[in-house]
Amino acid sequence: MPELIEIVSTGVGVSIQDSGRVGWRRFGVPLGGAMDRHSMAVANRLLGNKEEAPVLEIMHSGVTLRVLADTWLALAGADLGSSLQPWRAERVARGTLLSFTGPRAGLFAYLAVPGGVDSERWFGSASADARNGLGHVLQKASCVRSMAALPQFFAHRVAARVAIAEDRRDFSAAVELRVLRGPQFEFFSEASQQALVNATWKVSVRSDRSGFRLEGPQIQVPASIVSEPVLPGSFQIPGNGQPIVTMVDGPTVGGYAKLAVLAEAELDRLAQCAPGTNISFKWLD
């Protein structure tokens, strides 16, 4: 297929992501993929793509894209100030500039193209993981191709498609996330166990796709443990007593005690919490 989108500016971050490298964690390869899989799936469904088709993941602000051919595009996830509205697919004319000026709500937006982004795959995935040297890294002047010329639905006389209400998420609302007791829950004092759910935590500016750091009361740190597997969503407690929640590009093993594990359904919601966002947690029985 011909080139469809040119990267004019990479801003804080733009990358190709899909559902990740399933089945490779036992070899030390992180899962990777979209930080918010729900939003990625919705963007793809709006164009009739497979839910796991590669998309452009756009982070925070500063990204500018130039559309190189008349096409359909779909956007879901965070509202980052683009003229293309989230949770919507529509026709976009050649020459259109899409500028993502800054977050109004959320942190990651997902731009789907017809058929999905055409990109080489590493370990079965097109996802870019710059930290681990996997995937194609987009730079200024990079061009993106789609895997189909037209959306995978009958688009004649259709001006736009909008996601159903159940699929649209409000990232401006207060955030309370459910957590399960972690593998080393009993290693922590009762005061530390309760501190996690009684306090309000703030997402640190030092957060990234590997881990979200939380700022709040200092949790008493138990003795180190033998390194063991770490799942995305694990609350590791390092020496400073401030939790680090492992994200999709995070390590597959670690030696910090894990107080809690985020419920899998909540990982997408945490990913959309920009630095400075206040979060609270509750134990899931």
For residue range 106-138, list pLDDT tens digits in order.
999 999 999 999 999 999 999 999 888 999 999
> Rounded CA gap, 96 and 70, in Å?
9
32 shares its domain with 108? yes
Q: Domain boundary at 110, 132, 167, which? A: 167
Instruction: Give per-residue pLDDT as tens, 68-117.
Output: 999 999 999 999 999 999 999 999 999 999 999 999 999 999 999 999 99
Q: What is the CATH number of the domain that holds 266?
A: 2.40.100.10
Look at the pTM and tell me if it is higher than 0.85.
yes
For range 262-277, the mean pLDDT:
95
The token pair that represents 126 in the structure block: 């097109």
179 in the same domain as 110: no
Rounded to 5 degrees, what are φ and ψ at 208?
-155, -170
Q: Do residues 51 and 181 both lie within one domain?
A: no
pLDDT band at 158 (very low <50, low <70, confident <90, very high): confident
- The pLDDT assigned to 2 comes to 80
Which range of residues forms the domain containing residue 207? Answer: 175-283
Q: How confident is the model at residue 22 (pLDDT cuts 50, 70, 90)?
A: very high
Q: Are residues 54 and 192 in the same domain?
A: no
Give the chain's domain count. Answer: 2
Do residues 78 and 144 both lie within one domain? yes
Provide DSSP, the chain.
Answer: --EEEEEEEETTEEEEE-S--TT-GGGT----S-SSHHHHHHHHHHTT--TTS-EEEEESS-EEEEE-SSEEEEEEEEE-S-SSPTTEEEEE-TT-EEEE---SEEEEEEEE-TT-EE---BTTB---BGGGTBSPPP-TT-EEEES-SS-SS--TT--EEE--GGG---TTS-EEEEEEEPTTGGGS-HHHHHHHHHS-EEE-TT--SSEEEEESSPPPP------EE--TTEEE--TTS--EEE-TTS-SEE-S-EEEEE-GGGHHHHHT--TT-EEEEEE--
Residues 184 and 146 in one domain: no
Provide the pLDDT for residue 54.
98
Cα–Cα distance for residue pair 198/146, rounded to 1 Å: 47
Label residue 215 by pLDDT band (50, 70, 90).
very high
Reported as a pLDDT band with limits 50, 70 and 90, residue 16 is very high
Average pLDDT taken over every residue of the chain: 95
Name the residue among 53, 49, 61, 48 with its Cα closest to residue 34: 53
Torsion sign (Cα): 186, 244, 86, 152? negative
Give me the half-sphere count of Cα atoms (radius 13 Å) on the Cβ side of residue 284: 15
What share of the chain in percent tops pLDDT 90? 88
The answer to whether 57 and 125 are in contact (CB under 8 A) is no
Question: Residue type at 98?
Answer: L
Same domain, 157 and 207: no
Is the pLDDT at 146 greater than 80, yes or no?
Answer: yes
Domain endpoint, select from 167, 199, 232: 167
